[in-house]
Amino acid sequence: MPRVTLSDVAAASGVSKATVSLVVRDSSRVSAATKARVREAMEQLGYVYDRRAANLRAQRSMTVALVATNVRNPYFAELTMAIERVLYKRGYTLLLGYSHDDQERQTRLLEAMSEHRVDGMLLVPSYDTSGDMLQKSLGASGTPHVLVTRHVPSHQADYIGVDNRAAGQLLGDHLVRSGRQHVAFLGGPPRSTARVEREQGLRTALEGHGLALDPALSIATSADRDGGERAVELLAETGRPYDAIVCYSDVVAFGAISALRARGVEAGREVAVAGFDDVPDAALQHPSLTTVATHPDQTGAEAAELLLRRIEEPDLQPHTVLLTPELKVRESTRSQDGSAPHTPDTR
């Protein structure tokens, strides 16, 4: 059966296409009686509005794209859901793509989204994304966009994420105050801006207390659980003493705690362990995990709001919004009980 169109509805209800179009959008320019008649016809015919055609003509799409890396980490799950929630409320539909931190895939996704004429894009840039790349894949279409969680130093654009330096500092201060002195920083991908900034904050805090962050104790791996396990192995191989481990993220910390346990070390005793994010599991693990809340929900919601504002006012100055992190002290960083820092058995 052929599709029912506006013209069919117009014919059936004895008005013009223009009038039906106004009824669809509930314009006040059409009388209540006419509206009722037209709606009756739509119902009768089983009419389904074609937004694509409407939007082609109106030169917008009422869609927004999210290009993220993946959704395995609960942080990104919350972020995605917050974004979807705001867009839904504002009548926008979300297009989604995962780059898996692969540059070529990211480029192809950005181009596909541009070709679908999304009104705007939210991008969690993959590692090593350069300003040039973004310029190339987004510049031609000029699609308004907001960077989320990770920024691209050489790219002028809206950015919203947590203040990673402040987050690192919070953990550093807390650990030193709890009597820790030899702090390692484990996991996360080497060149990620978040990793670099968190480490800087940590270092600043330590130096504020007259301590240093031993470069040999900063070990980048990956941002998943496995990255935490591997980093602990590598840390042990250094043979250096440590009494605290700050992990790139909670998920990394879970891996680290697991690996420590396999070596007979319980987090929160000889070695304090902390993460970033405050994913739901952090409070529920045994021991519960000290961490810094990075507020994915708020980040996602505000990123979506910011993008919608930019869509409406393209000439707005680029904004950088840094959310304030929040320290959550739990069992995994209980105060130092006076014992010596943990020295790994080098077997």
Residue by residue, DSSP assigns 216-262 as: GGEE---SSHHHHHHHHHHHHHH---BSEEEESSHHHHHHHHHHHHH
- Burial tier of 37 (Cβ tally within 10 Å: 0-12, 13-18, 19+): middle
**How far is the C-alpha of 321 from the C-alpha of 299, rounded, in Å?**
9
Residue closer to its own copies (CB basis): 168 or 296: 296
Among 130, 131, 93, 127, residue whose Cα is nearest residue 113: 93
Residue from the set 14, 208, 215, 280 that interacts with its own copies by CB under 8 A: 280
116 binds its own copies (CB under 8 A): yes
Of its own copies, DNA, none, which one does residue 248 interact with (CB within 5 to 8 Å by kind)? none
215's contact among its own copies, DNA, none, with CB below 5 to 8 A by partner kind, is none
| Site stretch for its own copies (CB under 8 A), options 14-22, 26-34, 137-145, 313-321 | 137-145
Residues of the shown chain interacting with DNA in the complex, contacts defined by CB under 7 A: 3, 5-7, 14-19, 21-22, 24-25, 28-31, 33-34, 47-50, 53-54, 56-59
Minimum distance, C-beta of residue 181 to its own copies, in the bound complex (Å): 29
Query: Which pairing describes strands 326-328 and 290-293: parallel, antiparallel, or unpaired?
Result: antiparallel
**Is the CB of 3 or the CB of 347 nearer to DNA?**
3
By CB under 8 A, what part of segment 183-242 binds its own copies?
Answer: 225
Neighbours of 3 (CB within 10 A): 9
Should residue 34 be labelled a site residue for its own copies when binding is judged by CB under 8 A?
A: no
Using the CB atoms, write b or e for 314-338: b if 16+ within 10 Å. Answer: eeeeeeebebebebbebbbbbebee
Q: Does 329 bind its own copies (CB under 8 A)?
A: no
Dist CA 214 CA 132 (whole Å): 34
- Residues forming the site for its own copies (CB under 8 A): 46-53, 55-56, 61, 63, 70-72, 74, 77-78, 80-81, 84-85, 88, 93-98, 105, 109, 112-117, 139-141, 225, 254-255, 258, 261, 280-281, 284, 286
